[in-house]
Amino acid sequence: MSQHRLYMGAPSPSGHFGDFGGRFVPEALMPACLELEVAFVDAWSDPEFVQEYRSVLHDFGGRPTPITYLARLSERIGVEVFAKREDLAHTGSHKINNVIGQTLLTRRMGKHRVIAETGAGQHGVATATAAARLGLECTVYMGELDTQRQALNVFRMELLGSKVVPVTSGSRTLKDAVNEAMREWVTCVEDTHYCLGSVMGPHPFPWMVREFQSIIGHEASEQLSERGVGVPDLVVACVGGGSNAAGVFAGFANTSARLVGVEAAGGAAVSNGSPGVLHGMKSMLIQDEHGQIEEAHSISAGLDYPGIGPEHSYLAAEGRAQYVGIGDEDVLDALQLLSQLEGIIPALESAHAVAWIVQEAGRDIPRGSTVLLNLSGRGDKDVAQVREILRGRS
């Protein structure tokens, strides 16, 4: 019977995907979460809102993004790889899909300001971009350490008219920025929406963000049909919080396609983690035996999150999707391989998915399989870092 189950529908009324998800927030945040849920359900069932979301993504966001057959890579590894080109979306990744949805919703709720957390700065830049476009005020919380490591993204956000607040608590990185943004949201919920960057946090965020990202999977499914490829054997995406993976999986969850999420080996929440509660959700987390959250380590700041969205924990528990880890060295090799064989410099995050495909072609991925690779973003943001690492080697 299991093949007749429907996956990636709405969560339960309490926001659960199986045992995972929920809404673990202080009492003061409950009204904001409930208001958001009602507003999202109302907007997403309103054809006018959906049309507006699609047309902003079309006229401004660079959608639809193409699918590119990776001929030389395919020939090299013996499996047929098609890339969904989120690297060509505005601001260079899939993040624009989510922030356009949430900023339009902000305006619809009658609020004039957004706040956001950011790690490497990609979600912060995307939010600042959407806020500028729609005329919203924007404040971005960013770990102080990350503001130093990603100084250019801080400048981009400021250039776009946003304010960046360095967060000095804890490890001064992404998880502290989320804590701070949630704390701040309590004090300003009347006029401010918290634009969360991935399929995580309290209900309805994991569901809402997946819905805004599902345009990736629905487009890809249509594009592959039009080309006569049909349903691919495999859909592969990198996983930080899990939004680009959830988005592309949504187009294929109820088909025969095998779904694989690739985490950074140093932050593999599904393989190395255990269930726990963080940032308002129950999910798989990297934590010690006392429930203390451990630092995630990855060459790519975008995968440096010690948890994973609750729906992914559910898909893993159900066996509908599989999650694997890839180490930094393989990622660097894959980034160079894709650049040299295909003329596409992928983001370090996306290179995790490439690396797993290259590693498993002819092994876990049978020869001749068709694979849809979600190329979540472009590598321009990473070239300085990659150059330093490669220089240090020679």
Ligand X SMILES: *Cc1c(COP(=O)(O)O)cnc(C)c1O
Binding site for ligand X (CB under 6 A): 93, 95, 122, 198, 238-244, 302-303, 347, 349-350, 376-377
Could you give the residue ranges of the DSSP H alpha helices within 250-309?
Answer: 269-272
Q: How far is the CB of 175 from ligand X (least distance, A)?
A: 14
Name the minimum Å distance from CB 134 to ligand X: 21
CB 345 within 8 A of CB 338: yes
The nearer residue to ligand X, 111 or 156, going by C-beta atoms, is 156
* Catalytic residue check, 95: yes
Considering the complex, state which of residue 221 and residue 374 has its C-beta at the smaller distance from ligand X.
Answer: 374
Q: Which of 37, 80, 86, 117 is catalytic?
A: 117
Beta strands in the chain (DSSP E): 16-17, 20-21, 67-69, 80-85, 113-118, 137-143, 163-167, 192-194, 234-238, 258-264, 274-278, 281-285, 321-326, 370-375
Q: At what angle do helices 310-318 and 205-213 cross, to 10 degrees?
A: 80
- From the candidates 80, 221, 376, 381, which is the catalytic residue? 376
Nearer to ligand X, 154 or 239 (CB): 239
Identify residue 54 by its one-letter amino acid code. R
What whole-number distance in Å separates Cα of residue 71 and Cα of residue 94? 23
By C-beta, is 127 or 221 nearer to ligand X? 127
Q: Where are the beta strands (DSSP E) in 265-338?
A: 274-278, 281-285, 321-326
Nearest partner of 267 among 313, 326, 350, 201, judged by Cα: 326
Active-site hit among 74, 80, 93, 95: 95
Work out how close the CB of 209 gets to ligand X at its nearest, in angstroms, rounded to a whole number. 8
Tell me how far, at minimum, the Cβ of 246 lies from ligand X, in Å.
Answer: 8
By beta carbon distance, the residue nearest ligand X is 377
For 350, the enclosing helix (H) or strand (E) is helix 348-360
- Is there a catalytic annotation at residue 111? no
Shortest Å distance, C-beta 300 to ligand X: 8
Q: CB nearer to ligand X: give 131 or 303.
A: 303
Centre a 10 Å sphere on the Cβ of residue 29 and count the other Cβ atoms it contains: 19
d(C-alpha 288, C-alpha 283), whole Å: 15
Report the catalytic residues.
95, 117, 376
